[in-house]
Amino acid sequence: MSSVFAVPAMAGKEQKMSNNKATPLPAYTPGAPPMAAPPTYAQAVGGVPPTSPFTPTQTQNGPTILTTVVPVGPQSTHMICPHCLAEIETSTKTEPGMIAYISGVVIALLGCWLGCCLIPCCIPECMDIHHNCPNCKAYLGRFRR
């Protein structure tokens, strides 16, 4: 059987080309490193290497205060206010939410526009609850329905 791959018999010697000129072939030495690797992108383009966009600085002179985010719900929530650092029970205020307005528009489009479209604005399950601090009156969050 004949081999599919042919090995050049004249490696390192001269080989005749079709135009009858002799050209030397480069000698192959196994285990030798390649001539040279191509340059990296940074070397080819030049410029400065990238740096970090944020450099943290330590400028605090007092004790570190760690606050956690307390999820607000439909009822008043016991928490520490992140603004005045007092232990509080949040005060709540209700306002019609997005679901109340969408329901009102749908009811009005169905033909009940004389006053029935305002009913969703009176239902507690359609209201958003806004939480405030009773001490400093800071806004603490909203519970959406």
With vertex at residue 11, the alpha carbon angle to CA 7 and CA 15, rounded to the nearest 5 degrees, is 100
Q: Give percent of the chain with pLDDT exceeding 70.
A: 63
pLDDT at site 12: 46
Domain locations in the chain as residue ranges: 73-144
CB-side exposure of 3: number of CA atoms within 13 Å? 4
pLDDT at site 53: 57
| Per-residue tokens: 39 | 């340059």
Which one is predicted more confidently, 105 or 43? 105
Residue 120: count other Cβ atoms within 10 Å of its Cβ.
21
**H or E element: which one contains 100?**
helix 98-109
92-106 pLDDT, tens digit each: 999 999 999 999 999
Give pTM, 2 decimals.
Answer: 0.50
SS (H, E, C) 31-97: CCCCCCCCCCHHHHHCCCCCCCCCCCCCCCCCCCCCCCCCCCCCCCCEEECCCCCCEEECEEEEEEC
Which one is predicted more confidently, 123 or 112? 123
